Structures are given as structure tokens and as C-alpha cells.
Amino acid sequence: MDSYTYNSIHELGHGHGHVLQVEEVLHMISGVGENSYSRNSAVQKTVISKVRPMLEGTVRALYSKENFPRHFSVADLGCSSGPNTFTVTYEMIDAIVGLCHETGHSPPELTAFLNDLPSNDFNTNFKLLPDFYSMLKKEKGNDVGPCFIAGMPGSFYGRLFPSKSLDFVHSSYSVHWLSKVPQGINNNKGNIYMGKTSPHNVFEAYMVQFQSDFSHLLRSRADEIKLGGQMILTFIGRSIKDPTSRDCCLVWELLAKCLLDMAAEGLIEEADIDTFNLPQYNPFIEEVKTVVEKEGSFVIDRLETFEVNLDANDNEENKNYVFDMFTCGQNVSRGHRAISESLFADHFGVAIIDDLFERYAERIGEHLSMEKTKNFNIVISMERK
């Protein structure tokens, strides 16, 4: 019999300039402080609300099938932490409850799995759960059945759930994160992502990494989603084939400029910028289609695109919105800091972060005073064949 001696607690320790281990490092800023993802995820919230009609349609499609299961199992991939996590879960539950009410089905038991990388701040989510359950009970009463919300830590580029165990999978603003920085792009000097001045091999390497990752995501979910089950993925893409497209590269090009300024002032090493690249990719819509078709497990029901402003306060519902360069720059900078600080801090050290994102706020503010830049979003709804 094996004796188990798993006693040592391994804390994640990282120096500067090492090879980025995305799974260990990447996480949105934890907790509920000023810079936290919880408080700086308004764009993500807007995106979720835009996808709501497609989500309802998808749930409706599931319900129209015969032998609808008495238990409904859903997963949210890349749930992150804070209110958005529960917005997605709520939207899924609400769509199911609404349709049960309409069709006269009695409400199913529901398990919702919140998935993210193991370094995600699940504690913040779990502490919100009792209030979420109370709200659900108060708002839905007996229209909602027993509801069980679990956390499932792990990378969605590999297996996460038992075979044929899920009815519905959802992901919002996560699939544009790659499993790792593409290999062989040490020559991407002065850039931290694909940029106008990137050599050709950089674009190629990013594309290949996306194709591989997205294919693994589909393959893993194909194992886990029941036949006829559904999946909706929303992520940032680009509107044209050209990978130097502004909607793809601009925000990180501006951040790279801030880093280069800091290098010029001797605050960081320029060599450190050259060796840093973001594990992200914003695919063109046709690339997405091609991978789904090639992988072969899913049939695409709908594939749509929509845009949201970089500053989420600047939206149709906010009638009183008045552009202010400073405020707007701060809003966007905080949003980008919340999602990417862990990566920059891991590579350049924590000490430069405040300075970096102050500079970024200024640059973004200036840029948006000249041109209203948007995130170009792709949302794809698929059925397991």
C-alpha cells in the first residue's frame, strides 16, 4: 500500500524573466479592492448582457428536445471572480427557469460549475454564494429547483469534467487567452503581442497556437457535453483577416509604448520587453469557423459579431455619458490592469505596475480623444453532434 506524504505546501514563487507558466500565473486581480477585477469588469458585464438573447435561444433549443433531463448540468469556463461570475450563472439559470415557466416543465435540479485556473480567486466567489442563493430564492421562489454551484479549477484547454456529463457550456471573454505564449517569437522586439512591426513568424506562431488551443478546447468539451448539448463562446476577435488590424493590436501596442518609455528612462530593461509576449489571440471569424469544422464534433448554430466601446461607461444605456480624457483613460487602464497585472508583475516585477498603468491611462485617454476604439467580439453557438 502506498504511503502518502503530500505534506509540503508549495507556494508559487516566480523570479523575473523566466518562461511564463500561464496556468500558474494568469489570474484576474483578486479580492474586491480598487484595482480588483471585481470592480473593473464593466466591459465584460456589457458583453454578457449583449449575448443574453443568444443564450436564451440556445436554452430554448435544448428544451425543445425530447427526454429533457431532470437534472441540468452547466459550466462557465473562465468564470473569474466577482459579480460577473454570478451574472453569467444567473443568466443561465434565469433562461432555464423562464422557459420551464413558459413550457410548464417543472424546474430541473441544476448544477453549475464555475471554472477557472487554479490561481483564480474562488474564495471571493464562494463568499458571495449565500447571498446569491438567497436572491435566487427570493426572486424566483418555486420556479427555480434545487441549485448547486461548484468550483472546478483547471485549464479549459484540457479535460475538466466527466464524459457526457454536461448539458450546456458557456464562456465569456476567456477563449482569447491562449494556454501559453507561442514558441519561437523571441524576435518580436519592441512588441508584447502581434503588432504592426512584428515579423511574419510572430503572426504565424500566434495563429498556430490559437488553432491548437481552440481545437483542444473543442475536443475536451466534445468528450464532456452530452449529444445534443450546447456551447456558447464569446471572445474578442478581429474584423478583418489582417492580423495587424487595430481592433486586434491597438490596446497592447499602446501598453508596449509605455514599457518602451520606461525602458528609455532606465526603469526596466529593454531586453525584458523583447522577451515578454502576451498569451492572447484575437482570431478572425473565418479562422474560428475553420477550426470548428476541422475538429468536427460540433455544428455551428449561430456565429455573430458585435462591438463594445473600450470604456464600458460609454454605452447606449448611459445617456448622460460625456467623454473625459482622464476618466476614460483611467477606466480602460484599470480594466486592462485587472486582467493582465499578474502577467506583467510576474515578468517585470510588482514594483513597476502602478507606474505602468498610470502611463497607460494617459496614453489610452489621449488615443480615445482622437478615435473611439472598440472591442470586436465574436460569439459562437454550437451543438454537440
Interface ranges with a copy of itself (CB under 8 A) = 1-2, 4, 6-12, 23-24, 32, 38-39, 71, 82-83, 86-87, 90-91, 94, 98, 109, 111, 113, 118-124, 126-132, 135, 139, 146, 148-154, 159-163, 165
Which residues 6+ apart lie within 8 Å of 291 measured at CB? 210, 211, 214, 215, 218
Least Å distance, CB 24 to a copy of itself, is: 7
The answer to whether 47 touches 377, Cβ cutoff 8 Å, is yes
Q: Closer to a copy of itself at the Cβ: 21 or 186?
A: 21
Q: Report which residue type is found at 34.
A: E
Q: Closer to a copy of itself at the Cβ: 164 or 385?
A: 164
- How far is residue 155 CA from its own chain's centroid? 12
* 58: three-class secondary structure by DSSP: helix
Q: Closer to a copy of itself at the Cβ: 67 or 371?
A: 67
The answer to whether 189 touches 262, Cβ cutoff 8 Å, is no
* 375: three-class secondary structure by DSSP: strand
Least Å distance, CB 118 to a copy of itself, is: 4
Least Å distance, CB 89 to a copy of itself, is: 10
The answer to whether 12 touches 51, Cβ cutoff 8 Å, is no
**Nine-digit cell string for 290:** 475553420
Q: Closer to a copy of itself at the Cβ: 224 or 253?
A: 224
**Among candidates 274, 290, 295, which has minimal Cα distance to 202?**
274
Q: How far, in Å, CA of 344 to CA of 165, rounded?
A: 37
Q: How far, in Å, CA of 189 to CA of 199, rounded?
A: 9
* Tally of CA atoms within 13 A in the half-sphere of 359 that contains its CB: 18
Least Å distance, CB 119 to a copy of itself, is: 6
Q: Closer to a copy of itself at the Cβ: 96 or 352?
A: 96
Least Å distance, CB 229 to a copy of itself, is: 17
DSSP character for 21?
-
Q: How far, in Å, CA of 48 to CA of 42, rounded?
A: 10
Least Å distance, CB 218 to a copy of itself, is: 18
**Among candidates 239, 251, 252, which has minimal Cα distance to 378?**
239
Q: Closer to a copy of itself at the Cβ: 10 or 319?
A: 10
Least Å distance, CB 226 to a copy of itself, is: 13
Least Å distance, CB 368 to a copy of itself, is: 25
Residue whose cell numbers read 483613460 = 329
Q: Closer to a copy of itself at the Cβ: 82 or 195?
A: 82
Q: Closer to a copy of itself at the Cβ: 166 or 288?
A: 166
